[in-house]
Chains A and B, each alone.
Chain A
Amino acid sequence: MSNEIILEARDLVKEFPALRAVDEVSLPVHRGEAVFIVGPSGSGKSTFLRCLNMLETPTGGEVLFHGKAIAGSSASINHYRCKVGMVFQHFNLFPHLTILQNITLAPVKTGLLPEKKAVAEAIELLERIGLADKAKAYPMQLSGGQKQRVAIVRACAMHPEVLLFDEPTSALDPEMVGEVQNLMKELAAEGMTMVVVTHEIGFAAEVADWMVFMDRGKILETGKPAVLMNSVNPRIRDFFSKVI
């Protein structure tokens, strides 16, 4: 862990016609940190995460990457997204492509890697998650846990500096949650900078460097898991008493 701030939200606001989903949220993320965002449903966690990747266009405030604000031009956003990967709740693998093609498509087509190199790296990644034999298979033929692990290595194939996870295990059958969490733990241990939105408090407590509690579009408190989970704030106490 270093003191370098790699990604930072400053007074970020996302307003929908009838709702202020994200309300002036500021959050610095240092290199190598695993930041876990928790909180009740509808608290704006996912919207905030999606704003970090510009999948939702913020209506106020800014996102800084290496201290520079992400400009509005689509080219600079595309370039930024190459460096900041995203893992979705519903995996969003490309069903018309093989597992190998799912992983190599982005690095090849964005010009990050030549095809040969991309394939070699993809096979290495698949071997690492024990799915090398599925390289030629299609997403339909994989279990939920396998799909999510492929989605994670698909994001990794772009050599990202930050990975964003949007409730990565909530669409999985319980017996498959473990395999995905183990992969995320490994990545965290290797020093990948991660921002994770999750409902799995136990997992968050185990892996998080920082835990962020969001409610009604605002960050109520940020702290080490052990500290946050023993917060004096009644809302936070109430939440943890219900989920643990």
Chain B
Amino acid sequence: MKRYILTILFLLTLLLPAYGAGNKPVLRMVTSANFPPYEFHDNNTIVGIDVDIVREIAKRNNFDLLIEDMKFDSIIAAVQTGKGDIAASAITVTEDRKKMVDFSIPYVTSRQVIIVPGDSLIDSGKVLKGKRIGVQHGTTGDNYVTENIGEPQRYDDASMAITALLKGKLDAVVLDYEPSQVHAAKNPALKILEEPLFFEEYAFAVAKGRGQLLAVINQTLSQLKKDGVLTEIRKKYEKHTEEVVKNVTEEKYTGIAGDFYTNFVKDNRWQYLVDGFYVTIAVAVSSVLFGVLIGFVVAVIRSTADQTGKLKIANFFCRLYLAVIRGTPVVLQLLIIYFVVFGSVDVDKVLVAIIAFGINSGAYVAEIIRSGIMSVDRGQMEAGRSLGFSYLQTMNLIILPQAFKNVLPALGNEFIVLLKETSVCGFIALQDLTKGGDIIRSQTYNAFMPLIAVALIYLLLVVIFSKLLEILEKRLKRNE
């Protein structure tokens, strides 16, 4: 059976059009672009040391480069499942990771350093025990602190840890040396301890069994080292770091206006919110329509089975569907659909999100509609049947229109919940509204403005939608 499924999946991948538009083969790089200067968003593109190196590898070996941004803890899984070819995200070589992927030769030796507030009494790694330490989830800093010091506070990205440190929620943050410099430069209130916590090596990761690709990467990396390009790239971003420092110290505006300028106006950062807004709307509206479709079918099957005793097998599957979907968190369903169901297939992530949220919402809509069907007087079904209608005709013409009207407020509520649930899209690196705010935050190290802006946009959407629903309800009520 398993082999059968694998064969079908294999055939499906053959049927899919070749990846990428050009004739050249495509190299898909996965990265977590909130780690300056290795990878970060700049003017709506992803740049950084890793990006430049991989771009050079692609160029020298005649690949088209495609960059995909996702959470750091999803990157290894992404190359394992074939969502990406090369993971380039300042990844430290560790024994645990070696078991899951193959690493290239190291391209940089870095160190993990300790960042503390300027007036902190912490002066070395030896006094960290018992302190509140922030790390980026899944990084080597995380592993080191967990094993040698104690449970750290794990953040999704480094800038969130830095923000927490600035707000006094942490005593120290353990982070890679280079991004720490940018953070410290942007925040004069912080300092980097001179003595590093430990040293480590960065390398690129590929899936096991891709020896050919690995050989190509290693060969090119050696070349890059030899002809000095690697050093050039690092220098270029040192300059970038200096520029960032200059920009921070020479900001045009100060205070709230300044914050507003940095977070939304500068470098067209508002574009992240606008793009994210469209994705959020597209995902929420499409998946609620998909969900209502599923919900109607499931509700009719369930009610028919309850009332007539027919459709026993279909009813069993509907109940299974309801139990599984309502019994598991939506973010897991999203991850499973992306990494497992569509694991080896290239598919648009908006579509993945619509399918995941549609299937999720369908379960709740089904029960809402079923309660609506049950709320319609039994006599309505009898009257319909006595006039010669079939069961399904009576359902469509008489029961469902009344049921729908009865459950409209509950359906509206479900849409509002769904709209906000789509904020977990970032887990599959889909840039929705929440993720847009995250990106701004990772660039500006300002938690307040982007968070409030994103919250206000959600609120506004819900208020507008509630108003529209109210109008629809009133129109339907006119019949009574």
Contacts and interface: CB of A to CB of B under 8 A. Distances in A.
Interface of A: 53, 55, 74-75, 78-79, 81-82, 85-86, 88, 90, 92-96, 105-106, 109-110, 138, 140, 154-155, 158
B23 interface: no
A57 to B, nearest CB: 10
Interface string B60-74: 000000000000000
Max count, chain A CB within 10 A of own CB: residue among B385, B386, B401, B480:
B386
A79 B379 contact: no
A122 B348 CA distance: 54
B175 to A, nearest CB: 62
Given A109-B397, A138-B480, A81 B377 contact: no
Given A96-B402, A96-B405, A138-B480, A158 B383 contact: no
Nearest to B402: A96
B389 interface: yes
B387 interface: yes
13 contacts: A55-B382, A78-B388, A78-B389, A81-B386, A82-B387, A85-B387, A86-B382, A86-B383, A95-B402, A96-B401, A106-B388, A155-B386, A158-B388
A155 B386 CA distance: 9
Nearest to B391: A74
Interface string B365-405: 00000000000010110111111111101000110011001
Dominant secondary structure of chain B at its interface with chain A: helix
B386 A53 contact: yes
Given A85-B386, A105-B397, 13 more contacts: A55-B382, A78-B385, A81-B388, A90-B377, A92-B383, A94-B380, A94-B384, A94-B402, A106-B388, A110-B388, A110-B389, A138-B479, A155-B387
A88 B387 contact: no
Contacts of A106: 387-389
A154 to B, nearest CB: 7
Contacts of A88: 379, 382-383, 386
Contacts of A110: 387-389
A154 B386 CA distance: 11
Contacts of B393: 109
A140 B479 CA distance: 9
B387 A158 contact: yes
A154 B388 CA distance: 12
A81 B480 contact: no
B309 to A, nearest CB: 11
A154 B383 CA distance: 10
B391 A86 contact: no
A92 B377 contact: yes
Contacts of A55: 382, 385-386
B389 A94 contact: no
A82 B398 contact: no
B310 to A, nearest CB: 10
A81 B387 contact: yes
B379 A90 contact: yes
Nearest to B382: A55
Minimum-distance CB pairs A-B, first 6: A82-B388, A92-B383, A86-B386, A106-B387, A92-B379, A81-B388
A16 to B, nearest CB: 15
A141 B480 CA distance: 8
A81 B402 contact: no
